[in-house]
Amino acid sequence: MARERYVGAPVDLEGRQYNQTVETMDYIQLLKNGFSLRWTDTEEKTWLKGRGRLPCCRRFGAMLLLLNWGFRMGSVSFLVLVILSHSVLLSSSGKEGKHPPNCSFFQCGKLGWLKFPFNNETNPECGLRTIVNCTEEAPKIQLERGGRHFEVKNIQGDTIIIQDEQLQEHLKHGRCDFIDNLTSSPSPSVFFTPVPTLTELTLFKCHRSHNIDLITEYNYTRCQDYIIHYNHSNHIPPTPPPPGCSIIQYPVNMSTVGIAKLDSLLTPDITLEVNVFSHCWNCLNRGGQCQDDEKGKFQCAHVKGNDNRLKLALGSGISAGGITILIICFIIRQRHKRKYASTFLSRNTSSDPSSQPGLETTGTYFGIPIFPYSELEEATYHFVPDREIGDGGFGTVYHGQLRDGREVAVKRLYENNYRRVEQFMNEVQILTRLRHRNLVSLYGCTSRHSRELLLVYEFIPNGTVADHLHGNRADSGLLTWPIRLSIAIETASALCYLHASDVVHRDVKTKNILLDNSFCVKVADFGLSRLFPTDVTHVSTAPQGTPGYVDPEYHLCHQLTDKSDVYSFGVVLIELISSLPAVDFSRLKHEINLSNYAINKIQKCAFHELIDPHLGFNSDLAVNRMTTLVAELAFRCLQPDKEMRPSMDEVLEILKEIESNRHELENMDAAADSVGSSMREPPPPSPDCDEVGLLKSVQLMPSPDSTTAQWASRSTTPSASA
């Protein structure tokens, strides 16, 4: 019997603010790793009568867990009812927290849609830090009350990129005495911390009174009282620093990497992580508002009711009892888990001779062949670096040839810890139950007793879509528009099949879309995929995926649905029509993520700035119309609210309709040639801008700008107008 975990009500849990607690409670890590959520109107009325409909990220002072673990010899069920009014362990930590009443997303110019802990000048009570000048080119934020204002370049989740104009002025005039580590004084409610990145420069700031001799690879700049030593070639500095010196880290201007001059290397653009204190979240949970008094002390204003002390005492007492029950449940579960893991693997491994020490032959595991480790080691020439062909999410992929002559791709786990083994088993279980011409085939794996865990796939020789769009195969020019449209359709078909099989891929990206020599699609890498129970609408789990492709609502609410794949596929569609990467730090700060860049262009009907001109956008009427329609479809997929996105079935239907009209469009283009040069002028950028639509049944979602009325008027979906 497979293990199941059911949760009878939303559990509010995020470990970041409570590391000291969760490190001693592996049970909390169990919850963080994800669980199924079973929720119906009937159950809602029975369990939480009178609470009303529950929004996605709403926090409660109560938690109802129904944990059910199945084992071969029987089952053990636990019903744990823990009422935690002010529990420290399960208190809200912050990122996906409750927001002040009557507060929702607000639009802030180029920054897009924002939410708590930020607010605008219209609703100052809806956040902890106000973004001003939203309607202007340079929105600004005040990190410290009474402090300087900084220009906001980009906001993604809990990360904000600001520009320090004062620092920019110092760099412009070559002044360096000011250089010091970036710090900010935290308020009682929120604080900002620099985010370490790979694009940082490590400096030594040494007082001139000390004569410091550094290795010759280090450059230096003389200031009035200090000498700044640095190495622009990214050597690792010696630690600890020499006497009289301090280590400073600063972000680097990527466009000047390789230049030795210090003021050219540094950038005034600073990436910060936003952190909200737990007592502020607790205040919000009680219906209060986080405020700082005149002395800078935290106070929770407008709290409903005056029984806080009673609640605290009651919550503390029941919390202790609840934690004790959780510990007991966890201990019992751990004992059964060891027994379960052994029987589970044994039951799914038939004829596995490797269970006998010293033997390495063949067998089956979940119905697929078991390969001896020695054969795969031989097939990949002992995993030499020259045989590496990619990164498989939780392991490196090597090209190999089996003794029977078959070419294969062998994925080798990075390390054999529990998490990696879980991903290994997850991919095996999912791929063995799926069969689709656009999914990569799993040939087999090594035994659970093997020295290393390896997965063996069919070898796909023509690289990835990312390679052909903006990688080492991009110069070949082989991805014409018809091929790109076919790639989009086949990928959508594979995702439709996955969703129909109750599987969410969770890592849809162009690097995971392989191409054979006929440019047919093979979707790969299921290490992060999740198998959905048939009776749930979503699974609550810590967000995982690739930056630039992760659904923002999944990142915010920790609720995974099939619409998360739809968002990622929207990014893939934009890559196919633009040939641009999903993340590019050489773009403007607010356009680093391709999704933001595309949404801005589409809202302005500036399709000519988004679509790759090499596809024939400016010269071919048919390509112009089809790429524009695909861009509009991608816009729907990239909506921040998952309810506004189409299903993958609808996406596939629209793509097929665009392809079916391709020949009609090409005939129109040919007719335009025969009429004369007047028809050769590039058409207006969007059917929505010139009120021309070739596919009248394509439903477009409203955009947040002035085109809303136009798009909503063409939509036949009731939810779109809402």
Please tell me whether 311 is known to bind a ligand.
no
**Helical segments of 260-356, H only:** 262-265, 278-285, 308-347
For residue 613, the tally of other CB atoms under 10 A from its CB is 11
Gap between the Cα atoms of 116 and 101, Å rounded: 11
Q: Where are the beta strands (DSSP E) in 13-97?
A: 35-37, 62-71, 74-83
Other CB atoms within 10 A of residue 406 CB: 13
Torsion angles phi and psi, residue 86, rounded to 5: -135, 45
User: Which residues carry out catalysis?
Assistant: 507
What tokens appear for 105 in the block?
């997303």
Annotate 111-151 with DSSP letters as a single string. Answer: G-EE-TTEE-SS-GGG-SEEEE-TTSSS-EEESSTTS-EEE
Q: Is 114 exposed, middle or buried (0-12, 13-18, 19+ CB in 10 A)?
A: buried
What are residue 397's DSSP bridge partners? 390, 411
How many other CB atoms are found less than 10 A from the CB of residue 165?
15
The two structure tokens encoding residue 86: 């002010």
Round to whole Å and give the CA distance between 59 and 177.
48
Q: What is the DSSP letter of 475?
A: G
Whether residue 100 contacts residue 126, with contact meaning beta carbons closer than 8 Å, is answered with yes
Paired tokens of 185: 């004084």
If we measure between CA atoms, which residue out of 482, 508, 714, 702 comes closest to residue 599? Answer: 702
Least Cα distance to 636 among 706, 555, 717 occurs for 717
On the 0-12 / 13-18 / 19+ scale of CB atoms within 10 A, 722 is exposed
Token pair 């995971």 is found at: 512
Distance separating alpha carbons of residues 87 and 92, to the nearest angstrom: 9
Side-chain-side CA neighbours of residue 321 (13 Å) = 10
In 3D space, the residue among 241, 244, 221 whose CA is nearest the CA of residue 232 turns out to be 221
Return binding residues: 411
Q: Could you tell me which residues are annotated as the binding site for ATP?
A: 411
